[in-house]
């Protein structure tokens, strides 16, 4: 094996991947600017510190991941992935610009945010599975795990910059300009998609247009106990654990009485952890199931420490730990499921993964928001901790079952 194959940044040897990750980094900064501004707008401007309203926004934004599941996986497996990405990215950019205009003009209302959250989520539902499987076209299967990890490094590097930048923008000129900045940032990723060397893409077998194509994906996963275990763990953590807009905003405002900049900095601390977790995964040769167990367990520990943190800075430190665990866990599920799935089935399997991971948010976010409103933000974080420990238990029970039966699935390290 040569040096580039062992290097932490080996995927960057591909010109197409360099174009892609540069464009997505700029767009990801804008995305985190908007996410922070949106939560702040709902929590402090359009409501009186209502965590339930923030939870409803999250529910509406992620509900399409489950509602549109029959079509999103089909689109990722059957349509031209590059052209589909151009369409979804342009749609999300346009929506951000319109919401920015409404906010800057002073006419934005809470129901506007609800509507745009659902529309943005609908576009993202088509974007997410194709964006994840498109990485294999950029670098091939050999460097797929590394490319997935570097994608998350880019996303979470942007997460370090975006929330803090959003806090500065909100303090200086208001939330509306944060939305406008996000809309403009989509130009970068659209340009990168236009500039890709199409001839150098690693083509994979495309799925055939047949009746029951969507149900084939369900049958495929149902016959794989290893994939079912991963999806169960994802459901638990995705539904009750990955609600950080609620956790961080309510702790910042309700417990530590921070301003917009203080809230943005907490999100950036979370990003320090998630970026570290992504880089740890990037250095691994192959993902393993045992890593999921460790990630889920440490996620529960991180949420527990955050829930009992007595000061702002100790809470920030706990977010770093939680971020590391969250990214190791989610990135490993991504790489494991792609590498152990037939190429022609990847779009549907990854759509199921995203639908399970994010589709549970409409269930979990309102519950977590209600708990934060009525019992306090610390109890809401306790739900996240319980989800992490429950997911770790699923992993342990699955591994015990595999050892008892002497079976070993396609996923490594089971």
Looking at residues 92-114, what average pLDDT do you find? 96
Q: Are 244 and 302 in contact (CB under 8 A)?
A: no
CA distance 274 to 404: 35
pTM over 0.85: no
The overall average pLDDT reported for the chain is 86
d(CA 211, CA 215): 9
Q: Above 60 in pLDDT, residue 3?
A: no
Is the Cα dihedral 291, 296, 297, 302 positive or negative? positive
Decide if pLDDT at 351 tops 80: no
Tell me the per-residue pLDDT of 260-295, one tens digit each, with 9 for 90 and over: 888 888 988 888 888 788 777 766 667 788 889 999
pLDDT (mean) for 338-367: 80
User: What's the confidence (pLDDT) of residue 77?
Assistant: 78
User: DSSP state, 2?
Assistant: -
CA-derived radius of gyration, the chain? 20
Residue from 112, 107, 71, 81 nearest 95 by CA: 112
Q: Which residue has the tokens 């236009």?
A: 194
Distance CA 388, CA 275 (A): 19
Query: What pLDDT was estimated at residue 116?
Result: 96
Q: For residue 303, what is the enclosing H or E element?
A: helix 289-308
- Residue 226's pLDDT is 87
* CA 141 – CA 282 distance, rounded (Å): 14
Q: Is the pLDDT of residue 412 over 70?
A: no
Q: Are 3 and 130 in contact (CB under 8 A)?
A: no
What's the whole-number mean pLDDT along residues 400-413? 68
pLDDT at position 213: 63
Residue 112 has pLDDT above 80, yes or no: yes
Q: How far apart are CA 204 and CA 78, in angstroms?
A: 11
Contact 413, 291 (CB under 8 A): yes
| Number of CB atoms found within 10 A of residue 200's CB | 11
pLDDT in tens, 209-228: 555 566 777 788 888 888 89
Q: Is residue 167 a contact partner of residue 36, using CB atoms and an 8 Å limit? A: yes
Distances (CA, A) of 326 to 160, 201, 350: 15, 31, 18
**pLDDT at residue 1 in the model:** 38
- Helix ranges (H only) for 79-174 are 81-104, 110-139, 144-172
Which pair of structure tokens corresponds to residue 196?
């890709």
Buried b (16+ CB within 10 A) or exposed e, 377-411: bbebbbbbbbbbbbbbbbbeebbeebeeeeeebeb
Distance CA 235, CA 121 (A): 18
Q: How many CA atoms lie within 13 A of 356 on its CB side?
A: 22
Query: Which of these CATH numbers, 2.60.40.10, 3.30.450.20, 3.90.1010.20, 1.20.1250.20, describes 12-405?
Result: 1.20.1250.20
The predicted pLDDT at position 123 comes to: 95
More confident residue, 134 or 392: 392
Q: How far apart are CA 65 and CA 320, in angstroms?
A: 27
Candidates 315, 323, 307; CA nearest to 271 is 323
Give the SS3 label for residue 110. helix
- pLDDT higher than threshold 60 for residue 408: no
């Amino acid at each position: 094996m040569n040096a580039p194959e062992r290097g932490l940044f080996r995927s960057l040897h591909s010109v197409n991947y360099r174009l892609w990750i540069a464009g997505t980094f700029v767009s990801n900064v804008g995305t985190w600017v908007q996410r922070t501004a949106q939560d702040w707008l709902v929590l402090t401007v359009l409501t009186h510190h209502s965590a339930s309203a923030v939870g409803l926004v999250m529910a509406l934004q992620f509900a399409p991941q489950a509602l549109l599941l029959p079509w999103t996986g089909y689109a990722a497996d059957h349509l031209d992935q590059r052209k589909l990405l151009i369409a979804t990215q342009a749609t999300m950019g346009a929506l951000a610009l319109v919401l920015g205009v409404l906010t800057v003009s002073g006419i934005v209302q809470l129901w506007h945010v609800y509507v745009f959250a659902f529309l943005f989520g609908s576009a993202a539902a088509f974007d997410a599975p194709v964006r994840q499987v498109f990485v294999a076209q950029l670098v091939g299967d050999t460097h797929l795990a590394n490319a997935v990890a570097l994608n998350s490094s880019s996303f979470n590097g942007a997460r370090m910059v975006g929330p803090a930048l959003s806090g500065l923008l909100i303090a200086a000129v208001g939330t509306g300009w944060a939305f406008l900045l996000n809309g403009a940032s989509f130009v970068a990723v659209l340009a990168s998609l236009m500039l890709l060397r199409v001839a150098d893409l690693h083509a994979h077998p495309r799925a055939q247009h047949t009746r029951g194509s969507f149900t084939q994906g369900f049958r495929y996963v149902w016959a794989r106990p290893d994939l079912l275990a991963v999806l169960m763990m994802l459901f638990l953590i995705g539904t009750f654990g990955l609600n950080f807009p609620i956790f961080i905003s309510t702790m910042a405002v309700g417990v530590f009485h921070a301003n917009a900049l203080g809230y943005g900095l907490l999100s950036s601390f979370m990003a320090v952890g998630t970026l570290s977790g992504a880089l740890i995964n990037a250095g691994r040769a192959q993902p393993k199931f045992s890593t999921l167990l460790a990630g889920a367990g440490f996620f529960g520990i991180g949420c527990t420490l955050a829930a009992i943190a007595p000061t702002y800075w100790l809470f920030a430190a706990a977010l770093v730990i939680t971020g590391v665990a969250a990214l190791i866990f989610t990135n490993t599920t991504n790489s494991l499921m792609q590498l152990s799935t037939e190429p022609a089935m990847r779009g549907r399997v990854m759509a199921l993964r995203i639908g399970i991971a994010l589709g549970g948010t409409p269930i979990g976010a309102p519950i977590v928001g209600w708990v934060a409103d009525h019992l306090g933000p610390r109890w809401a974080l306790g739900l996240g901790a319980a989800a992490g420990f429950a997911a770790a238990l699923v992993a342990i029970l699955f591994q015990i079952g595999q050892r008892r039966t002497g079976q070993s699935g396609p996923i490594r390290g089971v």
